[in-house]
Structure 1
């Protein structure tokens, strides 16, 4: 056999052997795969370290709860009503047009103006009233001349007729002149204008409608607004009031309350009297004037030696009034109490507590 044929024979034999091996190579069976999957967790368990038991938490003593407390003490207490007041005159005049109104022609004043008695404050339109007055003046002169002539004639009937005509013309003149004068609103006294209705030229003014408020600046009192549904409704005439002007504090007396206000038909005053308390003092600063403001404190009731606690220590629930008391050993106990005077920061306990007990604050 030639070398070439020998080599080709060897190559063919190797090719056949490779093909045969590839066709009959071992394949992994389904059973072997399942077995392998089953063994993995078992071997894994043996490879991982054994789990240790968790440590028990250390025993910790619970923290003691901290309370804010105040002792029950004895001391003075007062119930007060506080407000901010304004100085105003207690002698004021609400000026209005009487008998008849009309259309505004001109307003001569505004709030804060100083006026003298008789000054014109507001002028209404007069139409031709001034001409009619002049005509009646002329008629009176004519009637007076005829009366003189009748007396010279010594005719009794002529004299009576002339006198009657003169009286008629005089009555007409007086009434028309009064109507003309009523078209002017005049100051009734020396004083300060404290209110002017919002009027413009052509505005309609009704009879007895307050147009201007005129006040005497030398006769002053303090007015402060109150809530009549609160403790302020307990304020009475004669109660002491403290007035503070800057750093100066003076005493005064309540002279009028909503329940003692005088009757008035003026709607503005009526509304004001319903919710204002008035205080007067003869110690007002010399510089005090209408419009100045002052702090007002009216004392309703007071007690010098009372059992008192902070208001934040008093509790209410479903109609029950009680306090929480901290006793020896940290024990907390609830005690029903009765309250007395209620101050701005403290409250009187009239029943249920003793001096020295510790009250837990809210």
Structure 2
């Protein structure tokens, strides 16, 4: 027993050292930084190839149209202007917009005070020349035939000068060509007036019509009697027919090669506005309570085909003069088919040969 206890006391320190080491290892592990957890990445799916659209070949009524714009105008409407090519001041404007006038009523006049004074003097002088001519004729027997003829010519020239001056003064007055309403006044007293510059517009507001302008190329496709659809601002669409084409001598709405618009200058002389310069459309039923000047747009049907075989323009392919489509069958197989095309619209094209209704074609 005496030998056992010393051995026991020697083992105890060794056990304490082992326990301390174990505690040190365990505590050291707790102070080490934690490793980051592994990030879970989302599955990346490969991009799907976009599928081109497919269209069904169909039959429909195909219409080709030309379009333009315009306004409501009176069937009897006239722009008024002076024709004197000498710039003069407007002496007086006797009417204003909205005034009703009678035929022949004085509307405006130029300041021709100087010409009126000259006319008065020329008339007095002409009266003296007439008396002198009477005296000359009394003495005709004393004159040669040449002298008498020269006297007659001189007198006629003086009378012609007076007539011309009278016409100049008369052209300085602007009168109403018919009874109606003054719908526009462009000048005021004291303004300088040029030949053919619009002074006022008079119209018979009891009868209105659709007046439109379209481009020169489209105008060549239009004929009297063609169906039209008119979209009137604030009213909606109305059906009608082409009643009258614009005057070919005008520069209406750019419809002629010379360009320009009614009432605008063509570079040399201003072109007066007139209803004859427009394409006129007669409506099947004219809506009530409309006003002159209301804006509108027109669509004229220049070509129509019933039961036309059509596809969208997006399905038609062209290369080196060849027109073709890609036809797809029920199994998704594609093949190229040559086609013959007819009329086209902004969205569809007629297939005259190569396809039948119900087939499917692939878009671009």
Fold shared by both chains (TM-score > 0.5): yes
In structure 2, do the counterparts of structure 1 residues 96 and 270 end up closer, same or farther at CA, with 3 Å as the change threshold?
Answer: closer
2: CA distance, partners of 1:62 / 1:204: 73
Aligned to 2:229: 242
Aligned to 1:339: 341
Deviates more, 1:333-342 or 1:350-359: 333-342
Aligned to 2:299: 297
What TM-score, normalized by structure 2, do the two folds share? Answer: 0.61
1: CA distance, partners of 2:319 / 2:183: 50
Aligned to 1:104: 89
The alignment status of 1:116 with 2:102, answered yes or no, reads yes
Aligned to 1:184: 173
**For structure 2, which runs of at least 5 residues remain unmatched after alignment?**
1-44, 132-137, 140-155, 252-265
Equivalent residues in 2 for 1:2-151, closer than 5 Å: 66-98=51-83, 101-106=86-91, 108=93, 109=95, 114-131=100-117
1: CA distance, partners of 2:170 / 2:330: 87
Aligned to 1:32: none
Equivalent residues in 2 for 1:197-208, closer than 5 Å: 201=190, 203-206=192-195
Tell me how far 1:196 sits from its aligned partner: 5.3
In structure 2, do the counterparts of structure 1 residues 357 and 64 end up closer, same or farther at CA, with 3 Å as the change threshold?
Answer: farther
2: CA distance, partners of 1:272 / 1:335: 51
Tell me how far 1:176 sits from its aligned partner: 5.4
Deviations 1:51-80 (A, max 9, x none): xxxxxxxxx999675332121112211112
2: CA distance, partners of 1:204 / 1:269: 14
Tell me how far 1:125 sits from its aligned partner: 1.3
2: CA distance, partners of 1:272 / 1:321: 45
Aligned to 2:326: 324
Aligned to 1:313: 315
In structure 2, do the counterparts of structure 1 residues 310 and 271 end up closer, same or farther at CA, with 3 Å as the change threshold?
Answer: farther
In structure 2, do the counterparts of structure 1 residues 193 and 360 end up closer, same or farther at CA, with 3 Å as the change threshold?
Answer: farther
Counterpart selection for 1:215 from 188, 193, 203:
203
Equivalent residues in 2 for 1:148-163, closer than 5 Å: none
In structure 2, do the counterparts of structure 1 residues 283 and 120 end up closer, same or farther at CA, with 3 Å as the change threshold?
Answer: same
1: CA distance, partners of 2:285 / 2:73: 15
Tell me how far 1:325 sits from its aligned partner: 1.9
In structure 2, do the counterparts of structure 1 residues 267 and 205 end up closer, same or farther at CA, with 3 Å as the change threshold?
Answer: closer
Tell me how far 1:83 sits from its aligned partner: 3.2
| Residue pair 2:325, 2:339 contacting (<8 A) in 1 also | yes
In structure 2, do the counterparts of structure 1 residues 82 and 179 end up closer, same or farther at CA, with 3 Å as the change threshold?
Answer: closer
The alignment status of 1:233 with 2:235, answered yes or no, reads no
| Number of residue equivalences | 284
Q: Which has the higher helix share?
A: 1
In structure 2, do the counterparts of structure 1 residues 188 and 101 end up closer, same or farther at CA, with 3 Å as the change threshold?
Answer: farther
Query: Which protein shows a greater Rg?
Result: 1
| Residue pair 2:223, 2:242 contacting (<8 A) in 1 also | no
| Residue pair 2:241, 2:281 contacting (<8 A) in 1 also | yes
| Residue pair 1:325, 1:334 contacting (<8 A) in 2 also | yes
| Residue pair 1:104, 1:205 contacting (<8 A) in 2 also | no
1: CA distance, partners of 2:274 / 2:320: 38
